[in-house]
Amino acid sequence: MLALDHIILAAKDPQQAAEDFAIKHNINVLEGGKHEKWGTYNYLAYFSNGCYLEWLGIFDKDLAVQSENPLIDQLIRTLDSDVEGAIQYALGTDDMDYYLEHFRQENISFTGPIAGSRNRPDGSLLEWRMLFPQAEIIRHPFLIEWGDGKNVPSDPALINKQQIDTIFPVIANRDDFDKIFQTDHQLENVQLAPSAMMRFSISK
């Protein structure tokens, strides 16, 4: 079964946006790092049910524009429209090759897998792969598979006791969603509640 991995929030200033959120919700946030080849960087907040928030911003727009990553393209267009906040979410899988074969068999268009990496503040390297079904539409989440263990902070004390308990994504066509992800809208670690505007809620 797929699980919510993380929610992406577009931010002109990821540090300030993360810190403002931390004060409002009494949570820990921390610096993530730079995606050097995409011209982006992030701040993060981890939660006890195995998922996290990512405030994603741009430090080099020339690099970002050259990226062939659909998420970065979505980020650019969002920030150019003077919009900030939740724009996308990732579903975690430990078998991306299965979904590649599934997409091919069902004639579902996709972009990827796209390899990603960044250096953590402690210098260690974090690696992953991303797979975007129907990327030309950008109405579905993407799949992510971590290279060497899940993305978690080195200090467990930085994981917040709260949980992201519900995500309210925009799902235009439920049958299409189910065909792509082979799910009945149930995720392993969070409730999925389709809505007209993407948002999420955190437990107290």
Q: What is the 3-state secondary structure (H, E, C) of the chain?
A: CCEEEEEEEECCCHHHHHHHHHHHHCCCCEEEEEECCCCEEEEEEEECCCCEEEEEEECCHHHHHHCCCHHHHHHHHHHHCCCCEEEEEEEECCCHHHHHHHHHHCCCCEEEEEEEEEECCCCCEEEEEEEEECCCCCCCCEEEEECCCCCCCCCHHHEECCCEEEEECCCCCHHHHHHHHCCCCECCCCEECCCCCCEEEECC
Evaluate if residue 185 carries a pLDDT over 70: no
Tell me what pLDDT residue 171 has. 87
What would the mean pLDDT of 150-177 be, rounded to a whole number?
Answer: 90
The band of 162, judged by pLDDT with boundaries at 50, 70 and 90, is very high
| CATH number for the domain formed by residue range(s) 3-202 | 3.10.180.10
pLDDT in tens, 39-95: 999 999 999 999 999 999 999 999 999 999 999 999 999 999 999 999 999 999 999
What would the mean pLDDT of 168-192 be, rounded to a whole number?
Answer: 85
Evaluate if residue 115 carries a pLDDT over 80: yes
Q: Range with the lowest mean pLDDT among 16-20, 34-38, 106-110, 145-149?
A: 145-149
Top mean pLDDT of 17-31, 126-140, 146-160, 184-198 is at: 17-31
Evaluate if residue 184 carries a pLDDT over 80: no
The band of 12, judged by pLDDT with boundaries at 50, 70 and 90, is very high
Nearest to 179 by CA among 188, 171, 189: 171
CA distance 128 to 197: 28
pLDDT in tens, 127-138: 999 999 987 777
The band of 149, judged by pLDDT with boundaries at 50, 70 and 90, is low
Q: Please return the burial class of 162, using the count of CB atoms within 10 Å of its CB with bins 0-12, 13-18 and 19+.
A: middle
Tell me what pLDDT residue 121 has. 75
